[in-house]
Amino acid sequence: MRLRIRHSTVYAYEFPIRSAVQLLRMTPRDHEGQYVGAWRVEIEGEGRLRAGEDSLGNVTHALYVDGPVSKIRVTVHGEVDVVETHGVVRGAIERFSPEVFLRETSLTDLTPDMLAFLAELDPQGADRLAFLHRLMAALFARIEFRAGATVTETTAGQAFLQKQGVCQDFAHMFVALARRAGVPARYVSGHLFRHEGAIEQEAAHAWAEAFVPDVGWIGFDVANGVCPTDCYVRVAVGLDYLGAAPVRGSRTGGGRENMEVALSVAGKVQ
Amino acid sequence: MNAFDEMQGTGAGAARPLYERVARWLSESPPETVAARRAQAELFFRRIGITFAVYGESEQTERLIPFDIIPRLIARDEWALLSKGLKQRVQVLNRFLNDIYGPQDCIRAGILPADLILQNPQFRLEVVGRPPPHGVYVHVAGVDIVRTGERDFYVLEDNARTPSGVSYMLENREAMMRLAPDLHARYRVAPVETYPDQLLATLKSVAPRGARGDPTVVLLTPGRFNSAFYEHSFLADKLGIELVEGSDLFVRDDKVFMRTTQGPQRVDVIYRRVDDDFIDPLVFNPNSMLGVAGLMSASEAGNVTLANAVGAGISDDKAVYSYMPELTRFYMGEEPLLNNVPTWRCREPSALAYVLDHLDELVVKEVAGSGGYGMLIGPTASKTEIETFRRKLSASPEQFIAQPTLALSTCPTFVGAGVAPRHVDLRPFVLTGADEVHITPGGLTRVALVEGSLVVNSSQGGGAKDTWVLDD
């Protein structure tokens, strides 16, 4: 599948800002089954980008904007060829032993409710892969997908309690529970081509990956209850949303901020 | 418990030769003079405004650290032993940090377990594979040492994150020179006033290699609500550098600038007293108002040095501490010169079982704790406190270590009823620059003012003494 992605984020400010600094993780990398063609990061107006890489191997861009500026537009676009691997990720940059991804973070907290939920899934069963599928299915059945039900600061425990969330929350809950069962797990941000034809999307996607010995890292798109296919583009990984977020920013001045995302993911079978 | 006394040694007879002049001075000073001096000491510290905020005390958030005018003396040969040991210790810490954020040989060699590092929240993934300029992680260490006998010194904590207390070392000396010049004149005391110059030289020496001319150094403080704010402003003043808060700095194109009335000025070295978690909202805690957005990008680009380096805090973990003897042999091929306190790591089942059976004898500490908060001192704890800790330990053993209760040495101290022995520790400050390690002869001696108490932390009611390293 060849996926054509165009992802624009526009920040509009009530007053001109004096300056802004952003850290972008919006550029996918190659690995087996994912081949990134021409990929560009563009800034409309004043603004300078410095490319880098974080310690997990994600491509980063530091964006520096000097004010006064009332609007910042960041656009990434490009084409990625994806081959079906049934969710198995091979050939990606792996600088850490999987054990690192057993860490609990403040966004991947666990509540007593979640522990009880986990206990019913035979978390210590011999077949780790089967457990992970049980976990995905159980979360998919229990939690309702509802846009706007949560915010970016919502933790796994909070989303579990309110039984609603968006892809970020599904990924956090899965990661938190898998880790508690001793399975290294991490957060993935990326894009999804939706077969039903909705090329224009409201937000980028997120899912989880878990590590299974002898197989490696395997993706679990918990919000959709499936493993990633050739419709998915992995962009960044982290311990949680904060480590893989497409944008983390800070600004001085500006008053209220209005952010609009325009995202299109189009697919073409090759 | 029979503790070694700094003045009397182990016997009850005459004072150790080192302290003879102190003993004579004490016997010669009429009680009225002593009382007047103590009142002056209080006044002195009130006037200069040296205070310490105490967390958990709602009514009085700032208070004076009581100052005791009987100095703690350290003989020249004792200091030689200590400073050699401290140097070795801090070299091991820097090698260890270079290793775990680099090749991780110590894990591969099985010196310590992988999960203790890889799953430790103080192990900052963000700086793995990005060594700081000149390979120095711990530029300033405030190592806590206790003494249990004539030649027996133990390191309690390495304090490699953002150690405080050095302002007391300097102020206590100034107070002593004013309050007891007659006693000071009877000894040849090594000066501590060189510390600010040494600190500035250390900080400049680790400036990024690309820095032009004389590096610009600033001190980054969390602000006036921080418990150590007094020290931050004091040090900035003594070093002749700017005291800045996060909002005074900004990052532009991976370079750090300070806002000044003459426009932006490039910054090369930041002596930061802000914790890792708060230092850059784009990389760590996104809600932090104390840091500088983009600082980690500037650091990764090699355009600024942060002292101490981000990630150094893992060596303050008390389970990591317990491996210092093994790490010393591993990195230096030599025996540690200073003792480690024997430590039961409760993460190990056999150790946990022993600790649970001996809670009334041991000191139990949180691996990530500091400042004397959240610890159990078995011998003086109530039954309820012991049971509370038993539950905590059983619930998350990996969060705790335990150590024997050490008989900290005592030092004569003025108390309500005259002069009496009180337990003391010692925090010398070790500076590591690009080429050398420097240790100011002296340090902060903290004293537990309550009879029999072993807790010297200022946050828990401890006091302070001047520390005299003698030149003869």
Q: What pLDDT sits at residue A199?
A: 74
B181 HSE (CA, 13 A, CB side):
1
Query: B122 to chain A nearest CA, in Å?
Result: 11
Interface of A with B in 153-172 (CB under 8 A): none
Q: What pLDDT sits at residue A194?
A: 86
E runs forming strands in B41-151: 52-53, 62-63, 67-74, 140-142, 144-149
The separation between the first and the last C-alpha atoms of chain A, rounded to the nearest angstrom, is: 6
Q: What span, in angstroms and rounded, lies between the C-alpha atoms of B15 and B22?
A: 9
Q: Which domains does chain B have, with CATH numbers?
A: 17-208+304-341+406-469 (no CATH), 344-404 (3.30.1490.270)
Least CB–CB distance from A97: residue in B118, B251, B294? B118
- Tell me if the pTM is above 0.90: yes
Query: Domain A83-244, what fold?
Result: C8orf32 fold (3.10.620)
Residue B464 has pLDDT above 60, yes or no: yes
Q: What pLDDT sits at residue B57?
A: 41
Q: What pLDDT sits at residue A222?
A: 97
Whether chain B has a CB inside 8 Å of the CB on A250: the answer is: yes
Mutate to test the interface with B, among A54, A154, A239 (most CBs of B within 10 A): A54
For the record, the structure tokens of A142 come out as 């229990």
Are the CB atoms for B368 and B400 separated by under 8 Å?
no
The confidence band for B11, taking pLDDT boundaries of 50, 70 and 90, is confident
Interface of A with B in 25-54 (CB under 8 A): 48, 50, 52, 54
Whether chain B has a CB inside 8 Å of the CB on A19: the answer is: yes
Q: What span, in angstroms and rounded, lies between the C-alpha atoms of A111 and A176?
A: 10
Are the CB atoms for A154 and A71 separated by under 8 Å?
no
Break chain B down into helix, strand, coil percent, rounded to 5: 35, 25, 40
Q: What pLDDT sits at residue B371?
A: 64
Burial B75-97, CB ≥16 within 10 A → b, else e: beebbebbbebbbbbbbbbbbbb
What average pLDDT is seen over chain B?
91
* Distances in whole angstroms, Cα of residue B331 to Cα of each of A199, B315, B430: 57, 15, 19
* Domain extent listing, chain A: 2-80+247-268, 83-244
Q: What span, in angstroms and rounded, lies between the C-alpha atoms of A183 and A3?
A: 31
Report CB contact under 8 Å: A50, B297.
Answer: yes
The confidence band for B54, taking pLDDT boundaries of 50, 70 and 90, is very low
What dihedral angle (degrees, nearest 10) is formed by the CA atoms of A246, A252, A253, A254?
-10
Q: What span, in angstroms and rounded, lies between the C-alpha atoms of B341 and B363?
A: 11
Whether chain B has a CB inside 8 Å of the CB on A102: the answer is: yes
Residue B10 has pLDDT above 80, yes or no: yes
Cβ contacts of B131 on chain A, cutoff 8 Å: none
Cβ contacts of B128 on chain A, cutoff 8 Å: 55, 95-96
Q: What pLDDT sits at residue A196?
A: 72
B264 HSE (CA, 13 A, CB side):
11
Cβ contacts of B129 on chain A, cutoff 8 Å: 55, 95
Least CB–CB distance from B282: residue in A21, A66, A252? A21
Q: Which residue of B lies nearest to A97 if distances are taken between CA atoms?
A: B118
Question: Which DSSP category does B186 fall into?
Answer: T
Report CB contact under 8 Å: A19, B281.
Answer: no
Report CB contact under 8 Å: A50, B119.
Answer: no
pLDDT truncated to tens, each residue of chain A (270 aa)?
A: 999 999 999 999 999 999 999 999 999 999 999 999 989 999 987 899 999 999 999 999 999 999 899 999 999 999 999 999 999 999 999 999 999 999 999 999 999 999 999 999 999 988 999 999 999 999 999 999 999 999 999 999 999 999 999 999 999 999 999 999 999 999 999 999 987 767 778 889 999 999 999 999 999 999 999 999 999 999 999 999 999 999 999 999 999 999 999 999 999 887
Q: What pLDDT sits at residue B34?
A: 81
| Rounded mean pLDDT, B216-237 | 93
Residue with structure tokens 């980028």?
Answer: A204
Q: What span, in angstroms and rounded, lies between the C-alpha atoms of B241 and B232?
A: 11
DSSP of B328-377, one letter per residue?
A: HHHHHSS--SSEEPP-EETTSHHHHHHHHHTTTTEEEEETT--TTTT-EE
Residue with structure tokens 């520096």?
Answer: A64
Please check whether the domain covering A2-80+247-268 is classified as CATH 3.30.450.40: no
